[in-house]
């Protein structure tokens, strides 16, 4: 049986052990990045395809006569036409809970960096402000503890729950938003999005990018947030309207943002968040998930998904049939 990994460069294979994956099938083609012009042929010549970010649309899937299993090297599956896969009898599975620790650590590193004013104090030291100080320390930028702050979480799956648990360890009050797109009063333990935005000191996004969450945080939502609030997005770029975020930071509607994902990755010139004049904005290149342990766990889970499928006991199936 033949397998092809369409974009190994997205998992950084140089410091990983790929043997658990490559041992699952007789033949593997491991491509750093599939050539778009060759994608249809690559997919149609394999029984198993692994992809992280390479999109498989309806035309590709309909032409893939031998393809039986698509393994997404991520949790989100928005790059796969799931309905077409099911129509073609192709099973699609994803990987879950492999990067929880890495993402949680990233989220809290951003919270702490902003609240402890790391960037501003580092800049002050570099400018010689500490060397010229009359006292033993600088107190130019207010430092805040996380304890007692309200952490609002939008998206309460594996990652949202893990962030909430860590927030409680820090002594934070936790608010969880009603599932985006649902109507009626919030269920027990949840609050309306408007209430969460108005009451939270920090808002952390952990929901998938679907129709109900596209531009979920837009100009109207920024106006509801506290001027002292911090927004953290480690979910998907399209959940936050980037032009609205740039405007909110420039006019001081919110105090800061830590953004690990953009609507288009890599970003292209003209993305409003690339404006270096925007204050209190940290952009990281989609690395919240990328700890070495997390990436190895991803490879191991991909292998586990394929083995389970071959054994007739498929797991993590999000579309299509079981064998």
Q: Which of 106, 206, 236, 295 is catalytic?
A: 236
Q: Which of 32, 168, 264, 265 is catalytic?
A: 265
Asked if residue 244 lies in contact with residue 238, where contact means CB atoms within 8 angstroms, the answer is no
Give residue limits of the domains in the chain.
2-98+292-319, 100-283
Q: Which residues contact 296 (CB under 8 A, 6 or more apart)?
A: 16, 17
* 309 CB-side CA count, 13 A: 27
Asked about 165 being catalytic, the answer comes back as no
Work out whether strand 91-93 and strand 317-319 pair parallel, antiparallel, or are unpaired.
Answer: antiparallel
CATH class of this structure's domain 2-98+292-319: alpha beta
**pLDDT averages per 10-residue partition of the chain, 323 residues:** 97 94 97 96 96 96 96 92 96 96 98 95 95 94 96 97 98 97 92 97 95 96 98 96 98 97 94 96 97 97 98 94 68
Asked about 58 being catalytic, the answer comes back as no
- Give the per-residue pLDDT at 271: 96
CATH class of this structure's domain 100-283: alpha beta
Backbone angles phi, psi at 201, to 5 degrees: -80, -30
- Give the per-residue pLDDT at 301: 98
Query: What does the alpha-carbon distance between residue 172 and residue 67 come to, in Å, rounded to a whole number?
Result: 48
Q: Which residues contact 254 (CB under 8 A, 6 or more apart)?
A: 222, 225, 226, 227, 228, 229, 230, 231, 248
- Give the per-residue pLDDT at 322: 66
Interval 240-290: pLDDT, tens = 999 999 999 999 999 999 999 999 999 999 999 999 999 999 999 999 999
Asked about 242 being catalytic, the answer comes back as no
Q: Which of 68, 106, 206, 286 is catalytic?
A: 286
Asked if residue 167 lies in contact with residue 216, where contact means CB atoms within 8 angstroms, the answer is no
């Amino acid at each position: 049986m033949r397998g092809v990994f369409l974009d190994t460069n997205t998992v950084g294979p140089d410091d990983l052990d790929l043997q658990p994956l490559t041992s699952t099938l007789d033949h593997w083609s491991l491509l750093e990045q599939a050539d778009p012009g060759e994608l249809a042929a690559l997919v149609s010549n394999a029984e198993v395809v692994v992809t992280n970010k390479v999109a498989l649309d309806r035309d590709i899937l309909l032409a893939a006569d031998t393809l039986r299993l698509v393994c997404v090297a991520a949790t989100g599956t928005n790059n796969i036409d799931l309905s077409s896969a099911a129509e073609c009898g192709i099973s699609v599975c994803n990987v879950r809970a492999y990067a929880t620790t890495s993402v949680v650590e990233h989220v809290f590193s951003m919270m702490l960096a902003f609240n402890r004013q790391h960037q501003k104090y580092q800049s002050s030291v570099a400018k010689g402000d500490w060397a010229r100080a009359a006292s033993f320390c600088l107190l130019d930028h207010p430092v805040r503890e996380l304890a007692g702050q309200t952490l609002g979480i939008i998206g309460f799956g594996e990652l949202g729950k893990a962030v909430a648990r860590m927030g409680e360890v820090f002594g934070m009050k936790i608010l969880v938003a009603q599932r985006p797109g649902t109507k009626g009063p919030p269920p027990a333990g949840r609050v309306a999005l408007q209430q969460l935005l108005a009451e939270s000191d920090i808002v952390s996004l952990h929901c998938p990018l679907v129709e109900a969450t596209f531009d979920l945080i837009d100009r109207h939502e920024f106006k509801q947030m506290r001027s002292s609030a911090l927004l953290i997005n480690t979910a998907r770029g399209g959940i936050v309207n980037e032009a609205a975020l740039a405007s909110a930071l420039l006019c001081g509607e919110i105090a800061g943002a830590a953004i690990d994902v953009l609507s288009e990755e890599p970003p292209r010139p003209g993305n409003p968040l690339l404006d270096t004049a925007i204050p209190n904005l940290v952009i990281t290149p989609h690395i919240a998930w990328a700890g070495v342990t997390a990436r190895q766990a991803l490879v191991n889970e991909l292998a586990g998904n394929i083995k389970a499928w071959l054994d007739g006991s498929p797991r993590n199936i999000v579309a299509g049939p079981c064998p």
